[in-house]
Chain A
Amino acid sequence: MNTFKTLAAIALILGFVSCSNDDDATPLLEVETETVANLHAPQSGGQGQPVSGAFTKFDFETGAETTSETDWDVAFRGTTIIVNGGESQGTTDEPERTGDAAVYIADGTMSTVTDVDASLFTQDSASGFAIATGSGNGWYNYTGAPSHLINPIPGKILVFRTTAGLYAKVEIISYYENAPAEPDAFSDATPYYTFNYVYQPNAGVTTF
């Protein structure tokens, strides 16, 4: 897994704003803008068969994959994405939710989704995952014949509340290994998530 770190212009702006507003406060941490490439999240079964296999868990605080049972924010298996908050659906190998993480899907781009709307957060429940499964319901569209591609729906930004009560926004870029510009569902391997995210490490700050 490759992790790239870049400095966000937004962080600078936030820095200026905070300086001019309140000179005495503790300086805010920089907002982190990162890209995660090729997060491998395989599953067994599917296509009408029972689905199983461990979810690949991810922690925004460390910006890395984790195997911790409790200290994770979001987890992936195939096209399914779950959060560490709410109830398990009890599918095979699905982890227990130990935290109070939550998520909602905002319409927009990484540059237009700048505020967290806390009223929209939902958690996984027995009746459905917070990020709905199925083509067109959540984060992806399945094109069907003849290309059979899984495409992240452009303009869908996943806004997370982490187990630590902080916020992150995520744009999924690709479901295929090495995020090819022209993926081929027959030759490119899945599921390898590539996504951009912005992590707000400062408690109580609801902007990115």
Chain B
Amino acid sequence: MILNSKCILCFIVGVLGVYHVQAQTSVPVEKQTDSLEEVLITATRTQRQLSSLPLPAQIISKETIAQSGSVRLSDILAEQTGLITVPDYGGGEGIQIQGLDSQYILILIDGVPLVGRSAGTLDLYRITVGNIKQIEVVKGASSSLYGSDALGGVINIITESPQKPFQSAINYRGGSLNSHDLSLNTGVKEERLALSLFANRYSSDGYDLDESTSLQTVEPFTNYTAQVKGKYDFSEATSLLLSSRFYAQNQEYKASEILSGESDITEWNGQVLFSQQFTDKITSTLELYGTNYHTESYLQDEEGAENSRSFYDQTLLRPELRTVYALNDKHNFIGGIGYTYESLERTDFSQDPVFKAPYVYVQYDTHLLNNLNIIAGARYDMHNVYRSQLSPKLAARYKVDNSLAFKASVGSGFKAPAFRQLYFDFTNATVGYTVLGYEAVPTAIAEMQARGELANIIVPVSEFDDSLKPETSVNINLGVDYKFSKLLTTSLNLFRNNLNNLIDTRIIATKTNGQSVFSYVNVNESFTQGLEFSYTYNPFKNISFSGGYQLLFAKDKEAVEAFEAGTVYGRTSANASAFVLDKKDYFGLYNRSRHTANFKVFYNLPQYKADVNMRATYRSKYGLSDTNGNGYLDNYDTFVDGYAIVDFAVNKVLYKNITLGAGIDNLLNFTDTQNVTNIPGRLYFAKLNLTL
């Protein structure tokens, strides 16, 4: 699908024209220094001050995003302590939190989940930051509120709502790779009605890190995002919110010199919130949410004959009713009941599956003592395919005095088996191997046997009688917040995640063509643990230093035992004899860096109406695959070298309502053609912000 950008432009300009252009004094770009005012909703589903929360959480403000010059969600998340963006095959970018990868992180927009993952990875590059009020990140398991997928954490993107009678802004950023990002924001707020409209167009020529191949690392693309949001207050107690978001991308798709085509994504999200305050203590909200994610791609040869065509179409519908009961300042209850309906149609599937999952949750948030806040909650998820899950959570924060507080939380998380892990039925046309979803195994194996394609059955089909179990985790956080002074605040968090029933692939049969048949199985138990440290230091009025560090150990328990038992062997080089590896030689899971760190300086120059900032991130070495063939990542494997990315940006208010900016991303021009496909070389950009 190709959208006509001019149409959208005309529409926006038309809408703008309806209202009188009111010159307003521009809001000075200043970093919010008083963190007491920072409020988030993701951690408890009620408004809570970030600084008093018993859970590890953070907020990324609109100001930070604007000053950094970021345009996509992955740009800004990559600069945060404990958030690591990881490239996916095919150019997507996922996120890793507390050592858990993208498939275990829930991504929400205004509290409702995005769907459309490629092999578990939700591509953060898909999401524009042009209309974001703030990004809320809660680390650790949150299935007690959000159900499936919330093991490593929840990222909630809160979109803007109009705060003034009329506001409108145009943002443009252009730069290297022929990239152009244009956003239009407009909103009106009257006594009862608030309306906002957002449109974004983003295009880029992509980039090519390895020019020896005919394919680019990222092929050229154009995408559009539009969101309309309206809220009407019938009275002080009753309100209705309607929101609809639309995303479309068209990208060139190449498989070889001969085969090329296009790949398209369209995504739609719709949300209706009806809120009724019954008494000053009880408020209920009925939320209806629906989303559809559709991709389609094709390849054709030089003569234009179609080589392949594939599609993916996922729909999620979710009504939810929740009620907040605020007894008084000290006791706050929230409860919710909902139903998730999810369906998927795609190529290479044994059937068109449907998930039906009713759920119920409750949470009690209390300031038991003046200095002690306790949150206790649980959620029960039922499902038509796998067994029910109970996810409890308990968290506490004890404030010793105004400068010192201790936090602790323990919670459980789970992830339901993905559709592909249950229903995939795929045979690679060129190599000849087969991947079968767990539920697809009995039928598919019988068919392959009948066709005489199987040489040997390694795992009997009877083992697939039971259903595949959800992956589960227990998450523990122990933290301390310490304010050395008004100028220097620090926060330390120790975390541990115990993961069970992790789903992995195994060979269940061999084929007469010498290839294997793979399917999924609950096998692995692993853990991630480490510490996260962050600080902000404002030595002078207009300068702010901040930074953070994460230490991470992510290991498979079976691997730890194998190394301890001395049954793992390695080689010093590919042509040397094997020897027994020591337990210290086990490095851990793939794609996990032991050390990650960031450092940022934001400097305001009010006399020049300007600000300047520098942000640096570092990621230590990590392994992407087992290169010496023993099945584990050990110290004798080949690692991806650690690297640092430094970004620089400057902004200046030119007139009252015009801000110009410029910057350099990846100042050091770091690239790793083979292993780090999500980082192009040095990028220059300029941007313009016009507010009306």
Report A's interface with B, CB cutoff 8 A: 46-48, 51, 80, 89, 107-110, 112, 127-128, 132-137, 140-141, 143-147, 149, 151-155, 171, 173-174, 176, 179-183, 194, 196
Given A109-B580, A132-B510, A134-B507, residue A141 in contact with residue B626 (CB < 8 A): yes
Contacts of A137 in B (CB 8 A): 507, 510, 516
Report Cα–Cα, A154/B628, bound state, in Å. 7
10 smallest CB-CB distances across A and B, nearest first, come from: A155-B569, A151-B629, A48-B432, A154-B578, A154-B569, A141-B629, A179-B575, A181-B573, A128-B456, A134-B516
The answer, yes or no, to whether B89 is at the interface (CB within 8 Å) is: yes
14 A-B pairs within 8 Å (CB atoms) are namely A47-B430, A47-B431, A80-B514, A108-B569, A109-B577, A128-B510, A133-B514, A135-B516, A136-B631, A151-B629, A154-B578, A155-B569, A179-B575, A194-B575
The answer, yes or no, to whether B362 is at the interface (CB within 8 Å) is: no
The answer, yes or no, to whether B310 is at the interface (CB within 8 Å) is: no
Closest-by-CB residue of A relative to B428 is A48
Closest-by-CB residue of B relative to A186 is B212
Report Cα–Cα, A138/B514, bound state, in Å. 12
Closest-by-CB residue of B relative to A155 is B569
Q: Is the CB of A140 within 8 A of B575?
A: no
Q: Is the CB of B89 within 8 A of A145?
A: yes
Report Cα–Cα, A174/B514, bound state, in Å. 21
Closest-by-CB residue of B relative to A79 is B514
The answer, yes or no, to whether B627 is at the interface (CB within 8 Å) is: yes
Report Cα–Cα, A180/B576, bound state, in Å. 10
Report Cα–Cα, A151/B575, bound state, in Å. 10
Chain B, 612-641, CB within 8 A of any chain A CB: 625-631
Q: Is the CB of A110 within 8 A of B567?
A: no
Which of B432, B455, B573, B674 has a CB less than 8 Å from the CB of A182?
B573
Given A109-B579, A140-B629, A144-B625, residue A154 in contact with residue B455 (CB < 8 A): no
Q: Is the CB of A147 within 8 A of B568?
A: no
Q: How many residues of B contact A (CB 8 A)?
A: 36
Min CB–CB distance B591 → chain A (angstroms): 13
Which of B456, B507, B516, B574 has a CB less than 8 Å from the CB of A174?
B574
Closest-by-CB residue of B relative to A48 is B432
Q: Which of B428, B432, B567, B630 has the most CB of A within 10 A?
A: B630
Given A47-B432, A146-B674, A153-B629, residue A182 in contact with residue B574 (CB < 8 A): yes
The answer, yes or no, to whether B230 is at the interface (CB within 8 Å) is: no
Closest-by-CB residue of B relative to A144 is B625
Min CB–CB distance A197 → chain B (angstroms): 12
Q: Is the CB of A173 within 8 A of B575?
A: yes
Contacts of B510 in A (CB 8 A): 128, 132-134, 137
Report Cα–Cα, A36/B568, bound state, in Å. 25
Min CB–CB distance A115 → chain B (angstroms): 17
Q: Is the CB of A153 within 8 A of B515?
A: no
The answer, yes or no, to whether B133 is at the interface (CB within 8 Å) is: no
The answer, yes or no, to whether B26 is at the interface (CB within 8 Å) is: no
New A-B contacts (18) at CB < 8 Å, excluding given A179-B575, A181-B574: A46-B514, A47-B430, A109-B580, A110-B577, A110-B578, A128-B510, A133-B510, A134-B514, A137-B507, A143-B626, A153-B569, A153-B630, A155-B580, A155-B630, A173-B575, A173-B576, A174-B575, A181-B573
Closest-by-CB residue of B relative to A51 is B514
Q: Is the CB of B574 within 8 A of A180?
A: yes
Closest-by-CB residue of B relative to A112 is B580
Contacts of A127 in B (CB 8 A): 455-456
Q: Is the CB of B629 within 8 A of A154?
A: yes
Report Cα–Cα, A4/B507, bound state, in Å. 38
Contacts of B631 in A (CB 8 A): 136, 141, 153
Q: Is the CB of B516 within 8 A of A48?
A: no
Min CB–CB distance B577 → chain A (angstroms): 6
The answer, yes or no, to whether B22 is at the interface (CB within 8 Å) is: no
Contacts of B574 in A (CB 8 A): 151, 174, 176, 179-183
Which of B429, B570, B579, B627 has a CB less than 8 Å from the CB of A147?
B627
Closest-by-CB residue of A relative to B675 is A146
Min CB–CB distance B434 → chain A (angstroms): 11
Min CB–CB distance B445 → chain A (angstroms): 15
Given A48-B431, A173-B577, residue A151 in contact with residue B515 (CB < 8 A): no
Given A155-B569, A181-B573, residue A134 in contact with residue B628 (CB < 8 A): no
